Amino acid sequence: MSVSMNSPDRLEIRALQQRERIHRTAQELISKVDHAKEQLTPAHQVRQHFAIVSLVAAALSFLCGYAAGSAFTQR
């Protein structure tokens, strides 16, 4: 009995391999998108640039305190 190159069994195996490859590629894409989303969240950005955020917050606090203090001590 000769088996042709496009026998139903061979086509099923090929289709299964293609589905697995597409599934694996989709999973990789989903994980990359999730990673990118996490990198762009404000909480992650603050953690990455904590020193700069702290300095800006301290400067703003100082300026607000100075403005409030000068408002109460006008001559």
Residue 72: pLDDT band by 50, 70, 90 thresholds? confident
The domain locations on the chain are 1-40, 42-75
pTM for the model stands at 0.57
Q: Which DSSP helix (H) or strand (E) runs through 38?
A: helix 8-39
**What is d(CA 38, CA 46) in angstroms, rounded to the nearest whole number?**
12
Q: Give per-residue pLDDT as tens, 8-67.
A: 899 999 999 999 999 999 999 999 999 999 999 999 999 999 999 999 999 999 999 999
Question: What's the pLDDT at 25?
Answer: 98
| Nearest-5° Cα angle at 12, 22 to 19 | 10
Structure tokens at 15: 């289709």
Structure confidence at residue 1 (pLDDT): 44
What local confidence, expressed as pLDDT, does residue 44 receive?
93
